[in-house]
Chains A and B, each alone.
Chain A
C-alpha cells in the first residue's frame, strides 16, 4: 500500500471507529429480547420517567434497565413489596419483574430528587393472562360520606397533648364499644371524648383525664410494629413538607411554596401537630386524604403507591404528633 493511501486509511479509521461505537448504542441492546426496556429517570421538571407508560403481557418477566440522566433517583412499584432500586446518574441498574395479574401498576421515584419529586410517576399496564381483578373496595371515607376538603376543627380540645400513659395510669376499663379498630377508624378523638363524657362513670374525671383515655384508646387500636412502619413511611414521604414533628415546617414547604405542583395560592401543608385540627379528624378522613391527595395543593395522591396496610400504618403514626403514646 502506498504511504499516502495508508495515511488516508488511518484518518478514515480514526473517524469511523468512534462513530461505530455511537451507532452501537443507538441500536437496541444486542442479545436482548423485546421484554428489556430501558427507562431513563429525570427530575419531573425535565420529563420524569422516560418512558412513563409501559404495556407488557401479564405473567411474562419484564427486565427494566434503569438509568438516571441527572441526579440520584429510586425506582419502586406501588402497592407491592418489591424492594426499591437506586437509579444512579449515568449508570445502569437492572430489575426483572413479573406481573402475574393484569392491571395497572404505578412506578414512582423513592428519592427526594427535586421539587417535583412526587410528579415522577409512570404506569405499567399488564395485559391479558386472565381476568382483570375487580376494582378495589370502596375506601372508608367514601363509605362514610366524608368530605375530604371540608375543615374539621374539633369543638373542644385539650390544653395539652393527651397522654396514653396518663390514661393507662388511671386503671379504668374502657367501654367495649369504643375499643378496637372499627371504632377508631371511623371516629374522631373528639367524638371519642364526647362518648366518654356521656358515660356516667367518667363524670368525676376532669377533661384532661378523659382526653388521656382517648389517647389510650387510640394507642390500643394500633401496634408498635404499625407505628414503626408508619414512622418510616412518614420520614420518607411526608416529612419534607409536613415537617419531622408534623408542624407543617418541612424544608420543601417553607422554601418552595407552590412548587410542589399546587397553585401558587394553594394552602401549605396541613399542620399535623395542631390539636384543633387533629382532634376533629377521623382516621378514615386522614386515610382518604393520603389516598386521594390534596387536589390542587401539591399534596400527592398515594393511592397507587401505598398498600392499605401502609396507609393505615401512616395514619396511626400521625397521631403521635398530638398524643403521647410513650414516655
Chain B
C-alpha cells in the first residue's frame, strides 16, 4: 500500500520533533478540562447552560468523533491533559528527560495487560451515561476522577499505564484509530533490530522511552501508539516515519487479533446502538430507567445493556462466523476467526457512532456560544454571546448524512470482511471462493446492524 512520509517536509519534521506544539495544545486542553470540572462542580446545574456539559459532550465529542479519530487516530491522546500531572511527577519535569524517576515505577501486572478493564470501564460509563451527559456535577466529578486516577496510576506504575490499560476514552479512540489515514511506523525494521540500545523504548539523551511501552519496530496497528512522538526524538538513526496512508490500513490483518479486542468492537458497536435507542428512541420508559441510576429500574436497564453488548451481540456475531465456517469448511481456530472478523465491526461501529453523534451534535452546537460567554451559568457575558437562541444546524441534511455514512460503513465492513476472509483462507481461486462463503454471514450481520441503526436514527 502506498505511504507518504510527512517527515519529508522539514517544517513538519521540526514541528513534530519539538515538544512545544504538543505541550501548548495539551495545556489548552488542560485549561478547558479544568474549566469543565470547575463549571461542572460549581456552575449552574442546568446542563444546556453549563460549560462542563456543552464543551465536553457536544463540542469535544463532536471534534473527537467527527474529526480527530477518523482523521488523526490517536491525535487526541497526543494532547490529552489527563496524564499531564502524573507524567510531570513521574519524570520530574515536563520537557527535560528525568534525571531521577519518581513514584514506585511498578510494571503493570502481566494478567491485566489487555483491554478487559478498559472494556469494563467503558461499559460502566455507558450504563450511567444519561446522568453523566445531563448533570454537570456528575460530569465534573467524572473528569476529576479520571485525572485523579491517571495521576495515582502514574505514581504507582511505570509510564502511561493508565492510558494503555485503563482509560475508557483511550480504548474507544484506540479501536477506531485503526481507521485513520495517519500512522507512526519505522522506516526500516532491520535497523531497529540491529540497534542495541533501543533508545526508542528505554529513552536516551533526546527524550523519554516510549510512554506507551511500544517498540516502534513492532508497531502494526495505530491502537498501540499514542502519537507522543518521543521516538522521533530518541531514535539516533532518524528511522521513524509519520505516514499518510489509505484509510483503515490496519484492519485487514487478521494475525494476532485477541478476544479482548474483539469484545471492544462488540461493546462499541453495541453502545452506539443502545445509545441511539435510549437517547433518541421513542421509548420513554427505557430513558427514565436509564436516568434513575441506582434504582431497580436502572439495574434492569444496565443488566439489559450489558447482556446485549457482552452476550447477545457477540453471540449473534459468533453464530454468523460459525455459519461462515460451516459454509466454507472449518479451518483454523474458531476464536481466532471470530477475533479476525470482528475487525469488520470497526468501520461499522465508527459509522454508527458518527451517525448517532450527528443526531445531537449539530442540533445542540448552538448551546456552545452562550456557555463560552458564561461558562458557569452565573450571568456573565464575556464575549457578548450569552443570550443566544437555540438554533439547530444542518437540520434537514442530517438524516441524509446519517444514511450515507451508515451505508458507507456497511460497504466498508463488507469489503473488509471479504479481505479478512482472503487473508485467512488464501487468495487462490479456491481460497477466494471459500473466503466469500465464510465472509457472507458476517456481511449479513453487518447489513442487519445497519438496518437497525438506520431505523433507530431515521425511522
Residues of A within 8 A of B (CB): 3-4, 7-8, 10-11, 13-15, 17-19, 21-22, 25-26, 65, 67-70, 89-92
Cα of A19 to Cα of B88 in the assembled complex, Å:
20
Q: For the complex, what is the distance from the CA of A68 to the CA of B88, rounded to whole Å?
A: 41
Which residue, of A10, A14, A67, A91, has the highest number of chain B Cβ atoms within 10 A? A14
Within 8 Å CB of B379, what residues of A? 65, 67, 91-92
A19 cross-chain contacts in B, Cβ below 8 A: 34, 38
CB distance from A12 to the nearest CB of B (A): 9
Question: B259 contacts the other chain (Cβ, under 8 Å)?
Answer: no
Q: How far is the CA of A170 from the CA of B85 in the complex (A)?
A: 92
Asked whether any CB of chain A lies closer than 8 Å to the CB of B353, the reply is no
In the complex, are the beta carbons of A18 and B35 less than 8 A apart?
Answer: yes
With a cutoff of 8 Å between Cβ atoms, the chain A residues found around residue B291 in the complex are none
Q: With both chains docked as a complex, state the minimum distance between the C-beta of B160 and any C-beta of chain A, in angstroms.
A: 17
The reply on B149 being an interface residue by CB < 8 A is no
Within 8 A of A (CB), among B63-112: 81, 84-85, 88, 93-96
Most B-side CB within 10 Å, residue of A7, A67, A92: A7
Cα separation A22 to B144 with both chains bound (whole Å): 15
User: A26 contacts B377, CB within 8 Å?
Assistant: no
- B19, B49, B94, B95: the one contacting A89 at CB < 8 Å is B49
Query: Can you list 10 pairs linking A and B with CB atoms under 8 Å apart?
Result: A4-B96, A14-B28, A19-B38, A21-B35, A22-B38, A22-B42, A69-B45, A69-B46, A89-B49, A90-B377
Q: Are B88 and A11 in contact (CB under 8 A)?
A: yes
Contact in complex: A14, B30 (CB < 8 Å): yes
User: Chain B 338-380, CB within 8 Å of chain A: the 1/0 string?
Assistant: 0000000000000000000000000000000000000111110
Residues of A close to B43: CB separation below 8 A: 22, 25
Besides A19-B34, A22-B42, 8 new A-B residue pairs in contact (Cβ under 8 A), listed by A number: A4-B96, A8-B88, A14-B27, A22-B376, A70-B45, A89-B48, A90-B50, A91-B49
A89 contacts across to B, CB distance below 8 A? 44, 46, 48-49
Tell whether, in the assembled complex, residue A11 and residue B95 are in contact, meaning their CB atoms are under 8 Å apart: no
CA distance A92 to B38 in the complex (A): 20
Instruction: For A12, give the chain B residue with the smallest CB separation.
Output: B27
Interface residue ranges, B against A (CB under 8 Å): 19, 23-24, 27-28, 30-32, 34-35, 38-39, 41-46, 48-50, 81, 84-85, 88, 93-96, 375-379, 387
Within the complex, what minimum Cβ distance (angstroms) separates A42 from chain B?
Answer: 8
- Nearest 9 CB-CB pairs, A to B? A90-B49, A90-B46, A22-B38, A18-B35, A92-B379, A89-B46, A14-B27, A90-B377, A7-B94
**What is the CA–CA distance of A90 and B84 in the complex, to the nearest angstrom?**
32
**Considering only CB atoms, which chain B residue lies closest to A22 in the complex?**
B38
Report A-chain residues with C-beta under 8 Å of the C-beta of B23.
7, 10
Does A15 contact B34, Cβ atoms closer than 8 Å?
Answer: yes
Q: Which residues of A contact B34 (CB under 8 A)?
A: 14-15, 18-19
Bound form: Cα–Cα A11–B19 in Å: 14
With contacts A11-B30, A17-B31, A92-B379 known, is A70 near B94, CB below 8 A?
no
Chain B residues whose C-beta falls within 8 Å of the C-beta of A90 in the assembled complex: 44, 46, 48-50, 377
Shortest distance between the CB of B33 and any CB in chain A (Å): 8
Q: Are A21 and B38 in contact (CB under 8 A)?
A: yes
A11 and B84 contacting across the interface, CB-CB below 8 Å: yes
Distance in angstroms from B417 CB to nearest chain A CB is: 45
Is B42 touching A7 in the complex (CB atoms < 8 A)? no
Are the C-beta atoms of A22 and B30 separated by less than 8 Å? no
Q: Which residue of A lies closest to B46 (CB)?
A: A90
A10 surroundings in chain B (CB, below 8 A): 23-24, 27
A17, A69, A90, most chain B CB atoms within 10 A: A90
B24 contacts across to A, CB distance below 8 A: 10
> In the complex, what's the smallest C-beta–C-beta distance from A310 to chain B, in angstroms?
32
Is there contact, CB below 8 Å, between B46 and A22?
no
Q: Are B39 and A22 in contact (CB under 8 A)?
A: yes
Assess the A25–B378 pair: CB atoms within 8 A: yes
Say yes or no: B94 contacts A21, CB within 8 Å: no
CA distance A13 to B34 in the complex (A): 11
Residues from chain A with a CB closer than 8 A to the CB of B39 are 22
Q: Which of A8, A14, A26, A69 contacts B31 (CB 8 A)?
A: A14
Q: Which residues of A contact B85 (CB under 8 A)?
A: 11
CA of A15 to CA of B96, assembled, Å: 21
Query: Are B44 and A4 in touch, CB under 8 angstroms?
Result: no
Contacts of B49 in A (CB 8 A): 89-91
Chain B residues with CB below 8 A from A26, complex form: 42
**CA–CA, A19 to B23, complex, Å?**
20
CB atoms of A8 and B48 under 8 A apart: no
B390 to chain A, nearest CB (A): 12
A90 to B379, CA, bound (A): 8
In this complex, what residue of B is CB-closest to A42? B45
Closest to B50 in A: A90
Instruction: Name the distance in Å between B34's Cβ and chain A's nearest Cβ.
Output: 4
Please, which residues of chain A bring their CB within 8 A of the CB of B93?
4, 8
Cβ–Cβ < 8 Å partners of B88 in chain A? 8, 11
Closest to B382 in A: A21
B19 nearest CB neighbor, chain A only: A7
Cα of A164 to Cα of B377 in the assembled complex, Å:
55
Docked Cα-Cα span, A163 to B32, in Å, equals 70
